[in-house]
Amino acid sequence: MTQSITDIDRRKSELREVQRAKRAALFKGADPAVYISASKHFLTSIALPPGGVVAGYWPLKDEFDSRPLMHAIAAQGGQMALPVVAADSGLLMFREWQPGAPLEPAGFGTMGPRRGEREVAPNLLIVPLLAFDRQGFRLGYGGGFYDRSLAALRALGKCQLAVGLGFSAQRVQQVPVNETDMRLDAVITETGVIRA
């Protein structure tokens, strides 16, 4: 018997509440070395797209700090971008970014490149998460921005790889999913790589 969307939404909401508290505690107690460790796992396990664009994210509150990884990718010559909420479309757009470049509010409390920076389509997308499972599904905040954007990019033949970034303790047995949830190709944590 299939579960109703309402039941899935309820389970997601309950899991979000638990995982928000868990991630906040993990973040508070995290040694900065965990972010370096995750960066090393990423760089030794994930092939950067030659001549392609890697879209990271500017960490919000207690999200896993992606900045060491983004700086490491840029130091290896990777072309970087950050997401910006695209008005009322329900999608993210991605603008070019380099370490040290000024940022401005990018929607929902996030920061992103200034208006006027070139918009690009990423070949590799790094995403934050509240929870993830071994099947490659992630739990986000419930807005669906990453899922819709990844689906749109893949429909255009873009974004061959989507990788989650988080603490290993954010893994759960199973993330409740529906037909709009997009699977990640891998999740990188401070302890290693989990491929879907």
Is 50 exceeded by the pLDDT of residue 1? no
Residues spanned by the domain of 34:
5-195
Residue 190 maps to which CATH number?
Answer: 3.40.50.10420
> Contact at 8 Å (CB) between 99 and 70?
yes
Q: 105-146 pLDDT, tens per residue?
A: 998 888 999 999 999 999 999 999 999 999 999 999 988 999
d(CA 153, CA 133): 23
Domain count, the chain: 1
pTM comes to 0.92
142: DSSP letter: S
> Contact at 8 Å (CB) between 103 and 116?
no
Most distant CA pair in the chain: distance in Å? 52
d(CA 7, CA 72): 41
DSSP letters for 77-139: T-EEEEEEE-TTSS-EEEEEE-TT--EEEEETTEEEEPTTSPEE--SEEEE--SEE-TTS-EE
User: How confident is the prediction for the chain on average, in pLDDT?
Assistant: 93
